[in-house]
Structure 1
Amino acid sequence: MKRCDACRIRTERRVSESRPRDTGDRDPLIDSPIVSQEEPYDNRNLSCGICSMFPSCMSLLSRRPEQAAPRPGQAAVVLNVYDMYWTNWYTAGAGVGVFHSGVQVHGAEWAYGGHPYAFTGVFEIAPRDERELGDQFRFRQSVHIGYTDFSEEEVRRLVAELGKQFRGDRYHLMNNNCNHFTSAFCQALCSRDIPAWVNRLAYVSSCVPFLQRCLPKEWLTPAALQHSLAAHSRSSSPQTPTTPQ
């Protein structure tokens, strides 16, 4: 994928400054027990894709921070990871996990789900509130991704722009799932990617092509997104005219 000059220069600078170190990109299903605290995560080996995917975001992307340490006014970007239903507790030993993730920034958590309509599938919940997602989800852990200069208003503008790509009717387990959204969102916010193990759902679905048709609706459309769809349906439906007395 062709990169813009800014992305090319940033990548060259990072290569020259980088040193071998442990990035912390470990699968908690295999290497560590379940934790609930935020864990640092750093991945500097990023490929550019934001410029071509979301060209109208470029005025905002130019404000992304380059430093690893926070500056005054920056907001933390945290990835919240959830187990989907109870299967992970039984399949962890085999290294197979199915996860949902959301990005927490400025006191809100943003995630993506599927539905049959041609508008955004991105929705907002209270951070780490598994009850808003539904009974099939269990909070697993938080991963600290980085910091962003984006204001709360700019974050919402970016979410609206991402919603054009991550529409409900474009949800796909292999190519466009909730973890693809959080990856794109984190890269746009702070030039950092999510840990690779989080998107194992894409790998599992590639091995079992008919998996999406077998999953319950609640996995593809979490409860919070279903509530958003219900509200959208009520607001878009024509009002019944009042009969004159």
Structure 2
Amino acid sequence: MFPSCMSLLSRRGEQRAPRPGQSAVVLNVYDMYWTNWYTAGAGVGVFHSGVQVHSSEWAYGGHPYAFTGVFEITPRDERELGEQFRFRQSVHIGYTDFSEEEVRRLVAELGKQFRGDRYHLMNNNCNHFTSAFCLALCDNDIPAWVNRLAYVSSCVPFLQRCLPKEWLTPAALQHSLAAHSRSSSPQTPQ
């Protein structure tokens, strides 16, 4: 006897159990603007996302410098991102065999592509980073709704100019930039 189509569809969404040594890959999604409470139900919204693997969350933001815009925060801690961010939900993406050290090396490699000065709200944003990161970690992509506004807005260029510039550099990335500038500036004699 053949299985019914309905039983095949229900199994499609099931998550398999991790093999020994694997770690969960979780997408943490944040609302970036209060209007999301009204528009997200219609399938559009402004979302920030980060990938949680092991005990860290990795995300991407823009800045004017030619080095990585990838930064690390405590998972689901919206306060580290800034006051315009509100945690929305976590989405299980899959499992990875990468160790914590291998994840850090992967983040460093991705940081070469996702530099702060290459951030673009429609074509190279935080959700593009999390998509690339998830694909590298577990060969699964993020849900399309997370970055839908970027796809829609690329057809309507004036929308990009309507979003505040401070959204490009979350607070956690601003702290990283400050630490980077302190460590790279020459020491003045006392």
User: TM range, normalised to the smaller chain?
Assistant: 0.7 to 0.9
Any idea what the Cα deviations from partners look like across 1:173-210, whole Å, max 9, x if unmatched? 22111000000000000000000000123124314313
Kindly tell me: are residues 54 and 111 of structure 1, through their superposed partners in 2, closer, same or farther at Cα, counting changes over 3 Å?
farther
Kindly tell me: are residues 66 and 94 of structure 1, through their superposed partners in 2, closer, same or farther at Cα, counting changes over 3 Å?
closer
Any idea what the Cα deviations from partners look like across 1:202-245, whole Å, max 9, x if unmatched? 12431431333332232110000000001111111111xxx999
Question: 1:66: Cα distance to partner?
Answer: 15
Cα distance in 1 between the residues matched to 2:2 and 2:72: 20
TM (norm. structure 1) is: 0.68
Unaligned runs of 5+ in 1: 1-52
Question: 1:67: Cα distance to partner?
Answer: 10
Are the equivalent residues in 2 in contact too, given 1:63–1:149 (CA < 8 A)? no
Question: 1:90: Cα distance to partner?
Answer: 2.5
Question: 1:168: Cα distance to partner?
Answer: 0.4
Select which of 146, 171, 177 maps to 1:223: 171
Identity of aligned residues (%): 95
Are the equivalent residues in 2 in contact too, given 1:64–1:191 (CA < 8 A)? no
Kindly tell me: are residues 60 and 156 of structure 1, through their superposed partners in 2, closer, same or farther at Cα, counting changes over 3 Å?
farther
Are the equivalent residues in 2 in contact too, given 1:64–1:188 (CA < 8 A)? no
**Structure 1 range deviating more: 202-211 or 164-173:** 202-211
Are the equivalent residues in 2 in contact too, given 1:114–1:167 (CA < 8 A)? yes
Are the equivalent residues in 2 in contact too, given 1:130–1:138 (CA < 8 A)? yes
Kindly tell me: are residues 195 and 59 of structure 1, through their superposed partners in 2, closer, same or farther at Cα, counting changes over 3 Å?
closer
- Equivalence for 1:104: 52
Unaligned runs of 5+ in 2: none
Cα distance in 1 between the residues matched to 2:6 and 2:179: 31
- Equivalence for 1:56: 4
